Amino acid sequence: MKAIILAASLFAFGTTAAAQAQQTVFMPIVIEVSGNGAVSGTNFRDGALMAIDEINAKGGILKRKINAPVSDTQSNAGVSRAQVQKAIDGNPYVILGPVFSGSVKVNMLLAQAAEIPQFTGAEAAEITQMGNDLIFRTSFGQ
């Protein structure tokens, strides 16, 4: 997970001129913290936060700390879409999550339209078969 986050961050930094002016790297985590997906979502969140803590302890990315606020999708596709839109409004470099494939199918088009890379724990193969070159599945089962 740490390598994925670092790769995504460096990719985003390299492609965004505005990143040089930022003091932190905004990488929101939009994830299932409650509801039916809470077990998978909190595992994804905890892994991401552990990696982010390690990266920040070593100076961050290009000397900028990662700011990764967590938003709960409540395991609901509509809430997930709203949370991803809120994250996009904050001009992130990458979005981490969610893990429910149904939620990802609903919100990945928003991130794609905004040209924001999205890393998800979703397992549905059709997610990466939809032609979105900014979506990355990180599920170990796939």
At residue 19 the predicted structure's pLDDT band, cuts being 50, 70 and 90, is very low
Domain encompassing residue 75: 2-14+24-137
Q: Which of 48, 82, 44, 40 is nearest to 67 (CA)?
A: 48
Give percent of the chain with pLDDT exceeding 90: 73
Domain containing residue 108: CATH number: 3.40.50.2300
pLDDT tens digits, one per residue of 25-74:
999 999 999 999 999 999 999 999 999 999 999 999 999 999 999 999 99
**Three-state DSSP state, 100:** coil
User: Tell me, what's the pLDDT at 138?
Assistant: 87
For residues 19 and 38, which has the higher predicted lDDT (pLDDT)?
38
In-domain check, residue 19: no
State the pTM of this model.
Answer: 0.83
Total domains present in the chain: 1
pLDDT tens digits, one per residue of 3-15:
555 555 555 555 4
Cα 53 from Cα 135, distance rounded (Å): 24
Cα separation values, 26 from 34, 40, 130, 139, Å = 23, 23, 26, 23
At residue 20 the predicted structure's pLDDT band, cuts being 50, 70 and 90, is very low
Cα separation values, 42 from 13, 76, 90, 107, Å = 27, 15, 23, 19
CB 37 within 8 A of CB 75: yes
pLDDT tens digits, one per residue of 91-103:
999 999 999 999 9
In-domain check, residue 63: yes
